[in-house]
Chains A and B, each alone.
Chain A
Amino acid sequence: MEQQKTEKKRSRSRKGYVKYFRKKLIWFVLTLIIAVALNFILPRLMPGDPVQAMTGKLVAGTTSNTIAKEMYERYAEEFGTNKPLFQQFFIYVGNVMKGNFGLSFSEYPRPVSDVVNSAVWWTVCLQIPAIIFSWIIGNLLGAVAAYRKKVWDKAVMPFTLFLSAIPAFAMAVILFVIFAVTLKWAPISGGYAYDMIPPAINSFGDFFAKFPQIMKLIGSVLEHYQLPFWSIVLISIGGQAVGMRSMSIYELNADYVKYSRFMGIKDRKIVRYVFRNAMLPQVTGLTMSIGTSVGGSLVAETIFSYPGLGSAMLKAVTSSDYPVISATTLIITIMVLICSLMLDVIYAVIDPRVKAAQFD
C-alpha cells in the first residue's frame, strides 16, 4: 500500500517534470522565432543604403564616372538587397538554419558566421564566469549583511549599491584609466598580449612540446581578462546583494525561525535553512537580470578592445553592417534564452515547490 503510493507519486512527479519541460521548450522555440524575426526586420528598416556605402569605399578616388553605378548594381544583386523585404526574410531564415548568416557588409567578403564565431567565445568566457562569480559574492554579502548587520549593513552594502549605480561602461572607463593607463598594472587592449601569436597545434605531441608556451598564453589571456571581468563583477554585486539581504531578513523574521529558536535549535542550523530558502528566489532573479547585465557588459568590452561580441557589435553599428548586427543580437538573444532555460531546469530540480505546482 505504502509502496504503491510512492510509486504513484514518483510517476506523477516524473509526469510533472515532463509537462513542465515541454511547456518551457515550446515557449523557448516560440520566443526564438519571434527573436529571429525582430532581428531581421528592425535593422533593415534603417534609412540609408549600406551597399551604397560599400561601393563608395571601393571606388573612392577614381575619376571615372560610371564605375560606381556598375559596382553598386553588382553588389545589390549579390546581397539580394534589390529584392522585396519578405523575400529577403525567407532567404535569410533558410540560410540561418544552415548556420549561414550571409556576408558582412563592412568586412566583405568575410562571412558573418566567421565574425560571430571568432567573437562569441571571448564573450561567453568573459560573461558567464563574471555573472556567476558576482552572483555568489553578491549573495554572500547580502546574507552576511542581513545576519551580521553592523559595518556590513551600514557601510559595505551602501558602497556596493553605489557601485551598482555606475553603468558598466563607466566602470570600465574608471578601471581602464586607473589600472591600465595610470598604474600600468593591466594591459591596455586585446584578448592576449600584442607581441604573442598562437600558431596552430598540429599534433598531440605539439601540445606537450609547447606546454610552457601554452601556459604563457593562458597567463596572458588571464591578464587581459582581469579588467573586463572586474568591471562586470563590481557593478553586479550590489544588485544581487540587495535582493539577498531583503530575502534573508524576510526569512529570518519568518515564523518558522522564531519557532525553531523557541524550540532551542542551534543558530547555525537555522541560519543554513534561512539562507537556503532565501537563495531560491535569487535563482529566478538571475534569470531575469541576465538579459540586462549582458547589455551593459557588451558596451564595457569596447573600452578594452576585448575581441568579443560587444566590440563586433559596436563596429557593426558604426558601419551599418546589418547582417552582423542581426547575427550578433541574435546570438546574444539565443545565449540568454539558453541560460534562462538552463536556470529554469536547475530551479525545478532544487525547488520542490515547482514540482508541486505542476500537480494543480
Chain B
Amino acid sequence: MKKLVALLIALAMLLACVGALAETVTEIPRNETLYFAGQQWGTVASWNPIGVNQNNSMAIAGNEGGYRTLVWETLYMYNPLDGGLYPLLADGEYAWNEDMTELTVKIKEAAKWNDGTPVTADDVKATWDVGLYLGNSTGNGYKDFVAGIEVIDAKTLKIVSVKNAEGAPANPLKLLDFISGTPIVQGAWIESVKAAFGDDVAAIQTYTGMEDGAFVVPHSGPYTRYYDDDQKVILVRDDNYWGQDASMWGKLPVPKYIGHAMYADNPAGDAALKAGEVDVSQQFISNVQDLWLKDELPISTYYEEAPYGLCLTMPTGWYNLNLPVLQIPAVRKAIAIAVDYDAIIASAMTNQSPSFADVPRSLMNPTPGEQALYDHEAVKDLQWAGLDIEGAKAMLDEAGIVDADGDGWREYNGEKISLNAVCPQGWTDWEASMEIVAAAGEKIGIEITTLFPTADQYYTVFTSPVQTEYAIFMWSPAAASPSQPWGRVYGLMSSSFKGIENNWSGNFGQYENAEVDEILAKIPTMSDENEIKAAYTRLVEIYLTEVPSFSLMYRPSVFCTYNETVWTNFPSDDGRNIPPLDCTDGYGIAALYDLELVGE
C-alpha cells in the first residue's frame, strides 16, 4: 500500500514537472539544423541589440575576429585571413578623405529590414546616436574615436573622426573597427523604444526586445529568433532575407535552423560533439586529434595538422613593474628566456599552437598578414624560443642578481627574491602555463610560487594600477581586427594606461617608454608600407629588449571543430579564403552559404 502511494507521488511529481513546462513539443529536423556548442552559456537574457549584457551570443556578440551577423548585420565583414573588409550592408569599398578624418560608406540598394523597409544611412546614424545616449558597447567602445555620423543621402553616410589638438584623426584604424564591429539597428524601432520608455535609460538597457513571448525587434540578418529557454536557443532562417539578392550572396544560407543547447561545462559540450549532437564546437578540445585518430569520429578542423586552428591571439605573462625587482629588465628577460614554452604548448594547448621556433616571438600573431609587418632579420638576435637556463643565469649574474648567502636562491638588495605567478582559478590551460613559469624560476634560482585566486579576486587586483600582490600574471592582448596589430601593441606597451583605475584595456604592468608612445601615436595615420614596417620593427625591438611582458603561446581566439555527421564542406585550408570563425563571425559567415548535407 505504502509502496503504491509512493509510486503515485513519484508519478505525480513527474507529471507536475511536465506540467510546469506546460508546453508541447516540436521536433526540429536534424538535417535542417546546424548545432553549435561553446558559445552560449546560460539562459539568454535579452534580444535587445542596443541593451547591455544580453548574454545572447548567437544573436548579439561582438567577437574578436568579427561580429556575429546572424540576426543583426554590420556594414563590413572582417576576414583575419587576409585582413580584408568585405561589404555586407555596405556597397563597395569605403572611402577616406584626404587627412583620414572622414570615412564615407554607401549602403546596398537591396539591403532591407525583415519588415521590408530599406536599410538607410539614417539607421546607421540612429544606431550610433542611441549607443552614445545609452552608453552601450557601441557607444562606449567608440566614443573616443567617432565624433558623429553625417547622413549624406538615404544610402550614403560619412563617419567623422574625433580629432586631436593638431586636427589629426584620433585613430583611423578604430573607424575601420567600427564599420566591421557595429551591428546596425533600425532607426524607426529605436525611436519607438525611446518613445515607450522616455528618459529611463536603464529601462531601455534592460528591455528584452520580447513582447508577449514574441520577438519584436526588426533586423536585417538571415536568421531570426525561433525559440529559447534555459536549455537551448534556436534561430530560424528568414526566407525573405535581402541577401539572396545577386548584389550580396545570391542565395539563402543553407541550414534552416541554427541551434545551441546549453551545456553545463566543457566536458558536456565535448560529449555532445562526439555524439554528433553538435556540428560546430567553439570549445578548446585538448588533444583534438584523438577524436579522429583514436575515436575514429567524423570530426575535422580548419588545418589537418597541428595547430589545427587559426591562432589569432597570444596569452601573455605580464610583469608587475610596481615591484622594484621587476623594474630590472635583466630579471624580466632572464625569467622569460628560461621558460619551457614547448611544455606550455604541449600541456596547456596540447600542441594546438605553433611553437616559438616555428613562429619567432614578436608583437604579431602568426597570420601571414601580421608577420609581414616587421623585419624578421633585424630582430633575429633578440627573439628566444625558451628553456635557455644557462643564458638566463648568465644574464642575472651579469646584472648583479646573485645568490650571496648560498641558499640556492638569488637575492636583490640582500633579500631573497620571491615572486608569484598568478591567473584565475579554473582557467586550466592558464594554470598549467603558470605552473611551468614557476618551474622555470626554480631552475634559475628565483623563487616563483603559483597562485590561483577566484576570477573576481583576480580581476579586482590585476586591474588596479598600484597593486603589488601579483608579480607575474596572465591576460591576453587583443586578437584580430582591422585595427590590429596596432591595438595589440598599444595594449601591451602604451603608457596611456598607466595609473588608470579599473584598467581592463592594457599595460597592466605599468610599463612606460616615451619612444614607444611616440611611435604608437604616429602609426594609425601612416600610409607608407615601409614606414609602417620600420615603426613596427622598432617596437618589436624594444618589446623584446625591455620585456615588459612575454607571450606564452599562440592561441586561436575562437576554436572551431566540426563534426561531419550531418553537414560537410566546412571552411578549411582549401583556398576558399573563409576564416574558421565558427561559420558565423565576420566573413566566416560565408561558410553557411556553402554547407552541404553529408551523402548528397
Give me the interface of A with B, judged by CB distance under 8 Å.
Answer: 46-50, 52-72, 74, 78, 106-110, 114-115, 118-119, 121-122, 124-125, 128-129, 132-133, 136, 180-181, 184, 188-201, 206-207, 210, 213-214, 216-218, 220-222, 225, 302-307, 311, 314-315, 318-320
CB of B384, distance to nearest CB on chain A (Å): 29
The interface-forming segment of B238-246, B265-273, B441-449 is B265-273
Q: Do A132 and B9 contact each other (CB < 8 Å), given the known contacts A59-B504, A213-B25?
A: yes
CB distance from A56 to the nearest CB of B (A): 5
Q: Tell me which residues across on chain B come within 8 A of A58, comparing CB atoms.
A: 52-53, 137
Residues of A within 8 A of B171 (CB): 63
Compute how far the CA of A306 lies from the CA of B230 in the bound complex, rounded to whole angstroms.
11
In angstroms, Cα B272 to Cα A189, docked, is 8
> A206 — which chain B residues lie within 8 A by C-beta?
24
What are 5 pairs between A and B in contact, CB < 8 Å?
A48-B457, A56-B504, A108-B55, A118-B43, A200-B23
Contacting residue for A305 out of B13, B51, B226, B268, CB 8 A: B268
Measured in the bound complex, the distance between the Cα atoms of B456 and A112 in whole Å is: 19
In the complex, which residues of chain A have a beta carbon less than 8 angstroms from the beta carbon of B174? 63
Contacts of A129 in B (CB 8 A): 9-10, 13-14
B453 at the interface (CB under 8 A from A): yes
Contact in complex: B26, A199 (CB < 8 Å):
yes
With A64-B505, A189-B264, A189-B268 as contacts: A50 and B43 at CB distance below 8 Å: no
Extra pairs beyond A63-B490, A109-B53 (11, CB < 8 Å): A47-B453, A53-B455, A59-B505, A65-B503, A68-B503, A189-B272, A197-B28, A199-B24, A199-B26, A305-B264, A307-B262
A119 CA to B460 CA in the complex, in Å? Answer: 30
Partner of B141, one of A62, A196, A200: A62
A62 touching B24 in the complex, CB below 8 Å, given contacts A106-B42, A194-B35:
no
B465 vs chain A, min Cβ distance (A): 11
Least CB distance, A41 to chain B, in whole angstroms? 17
Contact bitstring B473-509, A, C-beta under 8 A = 1, else 0: 0000010000100010011000011001111111000
Cα-based distance from A302 to B263 in the complex (angstroms): 9
A78-B202, A109-B52, A199-B24 known; A218+B18 contact, CB < 8 A = yes
B180 to chain A, nearest CB (A): 13
Q: Are B272 and A201 in contact (CB under 8 A)?
A: no
CB < 8 Å neighbour of B460 from A52, A67, A180, A200:
A52
Q: How many residues of B contact A (CB 8 A)?
A: 88
Main secondary structure of the interface of A (DSSP, over half): helix
Beta-carbon nearest neighbor of B275 in chain A: A188
- Does B49 lie at the interface of the complex (its beta carbon under 8 Å from any beta carbon of A)? no
Closest CB in chain B relative to A44 CB, distance in Å: 12
Contact A188 B18 (CB under 8 A): no
Are B502 and A52 in touch, CB under 8 angstroms? yes
Q: B13–A124 contact, CB under 8 A? A: yes
Take A52-B456, A181-B271 as given contacts and tell me if A199 and B264 are in contact as well, using a CB distance cutoff of 8 Å.
no
B22 near A188 with CB under 8 A, answer: no
The answer to whether A194 and B234 touch across the interface, beta carbons within 8 angstroms, is no
The answer to whether B140 touches A214, judged by C-beta atoms less than 8 angstroms apart, is: no
Which B residues form the contact surface with A (CB < 8 A)? 2-3, 6, 9-10, 13-14, 16-18, 20-28, 30, 33, 35, 41-43, 45-46, 51-53, 55, 62, 64, 135, 137, 140-141, 143-144, 171, 174, 202, 205-206, 213, 226-227, 229-232, 234, 259, 261-265, 268, 271-272, 274-275, 277, 426, 453-460, 463, 478, 483, 487, 490-491, 496-497, 500-506
A48-B454, A108-B45, A189-B268 in contact; A197/B502 too (CB < 8 A)?
no
**A190 neighbours in B (Cβ, 8 Å):** 231-232, 261-262
- In the bound complex, CA of A59 to CA of B504 (Å): 7
Nearest residue (CB) in B for A214 is: B24
Docked-complex contact A122 and B502, CB < 8 angstroms: no
A196 to B227, CA, bound (A): 10
Which residues from chain B contact A108 at a C-beta distance below 8 Å? 45, 52-53, 55
CB closest residue in chain B, given A119: B230
List of B residues within 8 angstroms of A221 by Cβ = 14, 17-18
Contacts of B504 in A (CB 8 A): 55-56, 59-60, 62, 68
